[in-house]
A = this chain, B = another copy of it.
Amino acid sequence: MSETLGHVETPSLILDLERLDRNLARMRDQLSRWPEVTFRPHMKTAKSVDVARRVLPDGGPIIVSTLHEAEYFFDHGFSDILYGVGVSPDKFPRIARLAERSARITVILDNLATAEALVVFAAETGLAIHVLIEIDTDGHRSGVAPDADILPPIGRVLDQAGLLRGVLTHAGESYGARSLEALHGFAELERSGAVRAAERLRAAGCSAPVVSVGSTPTALFAQDLTGVTEVRAGVFMFQDLVMAGAGVCTPEDLALSVLTTVIGHQAEKNWIITDAGWMALSRDRGTERQAVDQGYGLVCDVDGRRIGELVMVSANQEHGVIADRNGGAVSPEDFPVGTRLRILPNHACATAAQHGTYAVLQDGLITDRWNRERGW
């Protein structure tokens, strides 16, 4: 039962299927240069089995950010799952329950204490839990440096127990890129650091066949993947204004938008008031420190065409305020109460997280609703 965008309840999260497919094709094209490299898409952005099946029509390996996602995707036929947040011992039993159901579960860790605890747990349960050591190639957050003294000892503890599979890194700092050179540089930083770490483990006698790298910017702009066996990315499916600001895509690539309704004006302030506040967009202000601050998002008409320099300049819980970014006049007559608008978000992961469903847009109509999973 198709609906027009004029009839959908607002606020709603709109997923433009044509743009999604175009973004998926772009990544497939890029990675087709390295047919021997495994692609493991990150489901933390989409959190939807319908999207996952669009990305991987024949199934395939995925990475997730919560154990709830791991369980959800496993229940829907995805059995090769990497849990991409450093594991802690309190989560071992829940991971074990997946392994008992024959999930191929891989975890990551970056310290000796967790490695030793996992070795004990694996011996006690007899379960196959694969481990990648998290490598910090850009100072972003977690991980051991490729050249850290502690790397071989962690590797040996895991390898002697038959758990070690290799290394993983994520160049999170690449989101801050401002040029093509920077994007190429982050991709090479990620590759070279991960490969060096794997080689140090191998030199220490460990089996480390897997070298997993990835982020949307580095996956799309990698020029060399020598030594890499696996690439991961998630945001690329939808793209967002942060990615556009980093030169990774254009605003016309964004597959997500928030449909909203004009509920009033403050004419003397040149404000349009809408029913989409931070509850619908999230509090993410990821473009704030980029060259162009997009506020809470770029404003488009109901058909997805940008309207001059209108941006969502502020947000309350269920109210959005739209204005011209340069303070220009905005006439209430051009946007009467009831007008439908669409906001392109700063950060796809954060905005999508505020919603329980995607309203799937195809040929100008909402043709389907896809569930999104939340929680841990």
| A residues apposed to B, CB below 8 Å | 9-12, 44, 65-66, 85-90, 94, 109-111, 113-114, 117, 136, 141-142, 172, 261-266, 273, 275, 278-280, 282-285, 316-319, 321, 336-338, 349-350, 353-356, 374-376
Find chain B residues with CB under 8 A from A87 CB: 263
Interface of A is mostly: loop
**Is the Cβ of B319 less than 8 Å from the Cβ of A141?**
yes
Which residues of chain B are near A280, meaning CB under 8 Å? 376
B337 lies within 8 A of A113 (CB): yes
In the bound complex, do residue B337 and residue A111 qualify as a contact, i.e. CB atoms below 8 Å apart?
yes
Name the residue of chain B whose CB is nearest to the CB of A339. Answer: B88
Contacts A141-B321, A283-B284 known; 6 new A-B pairs at CB < 8 A: A10-B90, A66-B318, A85-B275, A88-B275, A141-B319, A317-B349
Q: Which B residues are in CB contact (< 8 Å) with A349?
A: 317
User: In the complex, are the beta carbons of B273 and A142 less than 8 A apart?
Assistant: yes
Find chain B residues with CB under 8 A from A12 CB: 376
With both chains docked as a complex, state the minimum distance between the C-beta of A34 and any C-beta of chain B, in angstroms: 27
A375 CB contacts on chain B under 8 angstroms: 355-356
Known contacts A141-B321, A375-B356; decide if A278 and B337 are in contact (CB<8 Å): no
- How far is the CB of A215 from the nearest CB of chain B, in Å? 12
Q: Who on chain B is nearest to A350 by CB? A: B283
